């Protein structure tokens, strides 16, 4: 057998090994969770704000993070798509996997950009750009696919419908996004994030600036959205977590005290701290 053939066989064996590894990894990810957080500690300078967090977040569910202010919910959420990379003093130990892929092993800007395409994020305050609804919707796809606006029109309509906004604004996609109500702006931001078809959406207190009616609209929409997306939501609203979350994790001073099915967390809390937190005796 000549050297070239040897190489080919070795390459083929290597490729087969790699493929098997990949399949095994993804099977494990499916069994464990869409997002797997293993032994994660986070620091700003030398100050540990999260300690040894372990959590498996399953696909197509809503996972709520609850806990008092400053316990590290936002830090963990932003760590999932490496948003904290932008903070120079930030450091993470442990492993975060998105569907088997090691998020912190991603080295290149292209890889991290791709990660943020796979994990969308919505903040407390809606942040549409001061331009038309249509331009807001097209911005993410133009950056990633360099496509023309018209070719994405159907997709814009589809995503606005998923975000339960289309019926309210279909006649005026050219109106300035800032002329929408706060609740509409938040749904626009969700629709805009969906343009990249992320598998995961992170929400950091998305309803805290909204009235109850706008809040219910978003909650209804999230319950629909989970059919196509995995959702992680930080909320201070216990009723909201009870209404929409399948699972809930309770954080206290940088640690997960208790995590599990939302019903169990609220109806049958095991930790005294959790019991006191949800019953307002904190």
Ligand X SMILES: Nc1ncnc2c1ncn2[C@@H]1O[C@H](COP(=O)(O)OP(=O)(O)OP(=O)(O)O)[C@@H](O)[C@H]1O
Interface positions with ligand X (CB under 6 A): 44, 49, 69-75, 87, 89
- Least distance in Å: CB of 219 to ligand X? 19
Which of residues 74 and 136 has its CB atom nearest to Mg ion in the complex? 74
Which is nearer to ligand X, 2 or 69 (by Cβ)? 69
Q: How far is the CB of 96 from ligand X (least distance, A)?
A: 15
Nearer to ligand X, 6 or 87 (CB): 87
Which of ligand X, Mg ion, none has residue 262 at its interface (CB below 5 to 8 Å by kind)?
none
Least Å from the CB of residue 124 to ligand X: 8
Which is it for strands 35-44 and 62-66: parallel, antiparallel or unpaired? Answer: unpaired
Partner from Mg ion, ligand X, none binding residue 75, C-beta < 5-8 Å depending on class: ligand X
> Smallest distance, Å, CB 39 to ligand X?
18
Report in angstroms how near the CB of residue 133 gets to ligand X at its nearest. Answer: 29
Nearer to ligand X, 67 or 100 (CB): 67
Residue 215 Cα to chain centre, angstroms: 19
Indicate whether 74 belongs to the interface with Mg ion (CB under 5 A): yes
The option from Mg ion, ligand X, none interacting with 279 (CB < 5 to 8 A, set by class) reads: none
Name 205's Cβ contacts closer than 8 Å, sequence gap at least 6: 124, 234, 235, 236
Of residues 70 and 130, the one with the C-beta less far from Mg ion: 70
What does the binding site for Mg ion look like in residue numbers (CB under 5 A)? 74
């Amino acid at each position: 057998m000549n050297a070239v053939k040897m190489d080919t066989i070795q390459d083929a064996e290597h490729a087969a090994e790699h493929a098997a590894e990949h399949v095994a990894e993804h099977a494990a990810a499916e069994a464990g969770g869409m997002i797997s957080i293993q032994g994660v500690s986070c620091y700003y300078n030398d100050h540990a704000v999260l300690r040894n967090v372990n959590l498996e977040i399953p696909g197509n569910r809503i996972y709520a993070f609850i806990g008092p202010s400053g316990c590290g919910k936002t830090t963990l959420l932003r760590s999932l798509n490496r948003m904290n990379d932008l903070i120079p003093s930030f450091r993470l130990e442990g492993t975060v996997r998105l569907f088997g892929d090691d998020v912190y092993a991603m080295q290149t800007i292209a890889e991290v950009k791709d990660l943020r395409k796979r994990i969308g994020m919505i903040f407390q305050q809606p942040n549409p750009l001061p331009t038309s609804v249509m331009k807001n919707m097209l911005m993410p796809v133009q950056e990633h696919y360099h496509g023309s606006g018209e070719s994405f029109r159907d997709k814009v309509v589809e995503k606005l419908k998923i975000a339960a906004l289309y019926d309210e604004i279909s006649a005026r996609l050219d109106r300035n996004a800032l002329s929408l109500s706060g609740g509409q702006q938040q749904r626009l931001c969700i629709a805009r994030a969906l343009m990249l078809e992320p598998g995961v959406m992170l929400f950091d207190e998305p309803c805290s600036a909204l009235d109850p009616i706008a809040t219910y609209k978003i909650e209804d929409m999230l319950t629909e959205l989970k059919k196509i997306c995995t959702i992680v939501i930080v909320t201070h609203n216990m009723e909201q977590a009870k209404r929409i979350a399948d699972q809930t994790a309770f954080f206290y001073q940088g640690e997960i005290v208790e995590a599990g099915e939302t019903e169990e967390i609220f109806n049958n809390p095991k930790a005294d701290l959790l019991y006191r937190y949800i019953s307002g005796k904190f």
